[in-house]
């Protein structure tokens, strides 16, 4: 990949998109293109067409999505399926019609069946039913994967899908109504510590197992896909290691310095029992994560503290 190739990063202000932007800049790529949601509404087909016609990117990295945790997915199912399909369909279809040869689509491990064998292999896609709490988002992402696969099959273009495990890191979302489990826990423990080490109540039983990947490692995986022509249409991206939600909570509690009680509210849903990714395909090609979980959580907490003022506006 030429360092002066025009690369459009959709969602470049988000946690993943900004990490990709930083990583590409550090590697010497000079013609990165981005547009904020105020500048370009990716749900608007004509706006996307006009933007592509004006910018003429050679590569598109789709890191744009409407995202959220169990609560947000449960409360806004229509927005999660429709807006995500609008975003990715507009990008993928316009890319194809504009002659874009390389497209990297980012999805989520929730595309795999709820009770699929562990670890999750790429071939388990569409073999059973999804987790009900986030099936709307998952179905949207599955259509994106399949659209890119269809383009590879029919038009022989280098359109590839990367399915990350649970991502976290700097520039994460710490809004307790819409954030994922790790940043939500981090904020809860921090604020409880600041309030005199009051107890922290967490959803579920603490027994489900989850895998977490630092966002800078995800960015490196995207660069790997950018600089190499991957032979298949779908790749898992993760660490290959998981831990219980209880272990995660205890790790975050230690790093934030909270010394109070943890209360588990078992009346709240746990979600999928386990979601460990089989990442052997990416490992075989030569990519592997670098940042271990405790190091990544410490980096994330450091960033959270540096940007604490922006989160104080949204109360618990």
Annotated binding site: 11-17, 106-109, 141, 164-167, 180, 188, 203, 210, 270
How far is 240 from 153, CA to CA, in rounded Å? 29
**What is the full DSSP assignment across the chain?**
--TT--EEEETTTSHHHHHHHHHHHHTT---EE---TTT--TT-HHHHHHHHHHH--SEEEE-------HHHHHH-HHHHHHHHHHHHHHHHHHHHHTT--EEEEE--GGGS-TT--SSBPGGGTTSSPPPGGGHHHHHHHHHHHHHHHHHHHHH--EEEEEEE-EEE-TT----TTT--HHHHHHHHHHHHHHTTS--EEEES-S--EE-EEEHHHHHHHHHHHHHS--SSSEEEES-S--EEHHHHHHHHHHHHT--S-EEEETTS----SEE-B--HHHHHHT------HHHHHHHHHHHHHHTHHHHTTS--
Which amino acids are annotated catalytic? Answer: 137
| Close Cβ partners of 274 (under 8 Å, ≥ 6 residues apart) | 118, 208, 209, 210, 242
Phi/psi for 136 (5° steps) reads -65, -45
Which parts are annotated binding residues for substrate?
Answer: 188, 203, 210, 270
Which parts are annotated binding residues for NADP(+)?
Answer: 11-17, 106-109, 141, 164-167, 180
Query: Rounded to 5 degrees, what angle do the CA atoms 235, 108, 271 make?
Result: 130
Alpha-carbon dihedral of residues 103, 108, 114, 115, nearest 10 degrees? Answer: 80
Residue 61, token pair as written in the block? 């990295």
């Amino acid at each position: 990949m030429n360092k002066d190739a025009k690369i459009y990063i959709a969602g470049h202000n988000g946690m993943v998109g900004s990490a990709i932007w930083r990583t590409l800049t550090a590697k010497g790529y000079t013609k990165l293109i981005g547009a904020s949601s105020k500048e370009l509404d990716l749900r608007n087909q004509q706006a996307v067409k006009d933007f592509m016609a004006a910018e003429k990117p050679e590569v598109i990295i789709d890191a744009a999505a409407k995202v959220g945790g169990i609560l947000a997915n449960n409360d806004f199912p229509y927005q999660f399926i429709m807006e995500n399909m609008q975003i990715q369909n507009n990008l993928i279809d316009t890319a194809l019609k504009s002659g874009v040869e390389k497209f990297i689509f980012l999805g989520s491990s929730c595309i795999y069946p709820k009770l699929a064998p562990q670890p999750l292999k790429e071939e388990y896609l569409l073999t059973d039913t999804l987790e009900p709490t986030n099936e709307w988002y998952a179905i949207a992402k599955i259509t994106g994967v399949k659209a890119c696969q269809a383009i590879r099959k029919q038009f022989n273009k280098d359109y590839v899908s990367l399915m990350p495990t649970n991502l976290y890191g700097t520039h994460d979302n710490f809004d307790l109504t819409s954030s994922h489990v790790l940043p939500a826990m981090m904020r809860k423990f921090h604020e409880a510590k600041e309030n005199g080490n009051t107890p922290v109540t967490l959803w579920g039983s603490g027994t489900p197992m989850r895998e977490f990947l630092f966002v800078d490692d995800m960015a490196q995986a995207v660069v790997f896909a950018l600089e190499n022509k991957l032979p298949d249409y779908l790749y898992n991206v993760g660490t290959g290691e998981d831990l219980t939600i209880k272990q995660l909570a205890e790790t975050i509690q230690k790093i934030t310095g909270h010394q109070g009680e943890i209360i588990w509210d078992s009346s709240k849903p746990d979600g999928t029992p386990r979601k460990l990714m089989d990442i052997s395909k990416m490992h075989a090609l030569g990519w592997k994560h670098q940042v271990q979980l405790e190091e990544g959580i410490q980096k994330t907490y450091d960033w959270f503290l540096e940007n604490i003022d922006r989160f104080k506006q949204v109360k618990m």
